[in-house]
Amino acid sequence: MKVIGVVGDIGSGKDEVLKYLRNRYGVPYISTGDMVRQIAREEGLEGTRENLSAISKRCFTEMGRGCFVRMAGQEIQKRGWKVAGISGVRSPDDVAVMKEMFGDGFILVRVDIKDPAIRFERVRLRGERRDPPTLAAFQEQDRNEEQEFQINKAEAMADYKIDNSGTLEELRRRIDDLVASKKLPIV
């Protein structure tokens, strides 16, 4: 069993990588963010960043750090997928849980955009209510996420890095290059 985890800052293109792997190569994936949003819906809460953060913190307290990736990993095992992806790997704890569950079968890919203005513009274009309305608010959200999850430390643990500062077509070529080089298992 191979699991491709994707890590990166808000708006870096993590889900875009996994959507492409699903659409082009048939690799299913689970989003931990979708899991948190589902809990919010079940509790009758709006999917704001504040509500989602509160749910995450509560779950971490009740079930421990890495609980969402653990649930995602268990779902992958239950479904018997030979290769799958997980979006929402955020912290070193998440990476440790995945390594514990899948050993060398876990591959971590970092999606990177150096310029926060590019990420903000992409987030703005997706138009989800959980996203901040200004670049300043976006940068504050980045700082809060880093403080909460230590995303930079998790990114440093990545096996591979994909730069997503360019076009969608360039991102897809970079993904195809990783697949062609056998660095990403697609069987």
Burial of 84 (0-12, 13-18, 19+ CB in 10 A): buried
φ, ψ at 111 (rounded to 5°): -105, 125
Does 131 score more than 80 pLDDT? yes
Q: What is the pLDDT of residue 160?
A: 97
As a whole number, the mean pLDDT across the chain is 93
Domains and CATH numbers, the chain: 2-180 (3.40.50.300)
Those residues whose C-beta lies under 8 Å from the C-beta of residue 68, and which sit 6 or more positions away, are 32, 35, 36, 56, 59, 88, 94
Type of residue numbered 168: L
- Helices 67-79 and 49-63 meet at what angle, rounded to 10? 80
Tens-place pLDDT, residues 79-118: 999 999 999 899 999 999 999 999 999 999 999 999 999 9
Does 187 score more than 80 pLDDT? no
Would you place residue 132 in the very low, low, confident or very high pLDDT band (cuts 50, 70, 90)? confident
Tens-place pLDDT, residues 21-68: 999 999 999 999 889 989 999 999 988 878 988 998 899 999 988 999
φ, ψ at 31 (rounded to 5°): -105, 120
Does 129 score more than 80 pLDDT? no
Q: Most distant CA pair in the chain: distance in Å?
A: 46
Q: pLDDT > 70: what percent of the chain? A: 99
pTM of the model: 0.90
Q: How far apart are CA 123 and CA 119, in angstroms?
A: 6
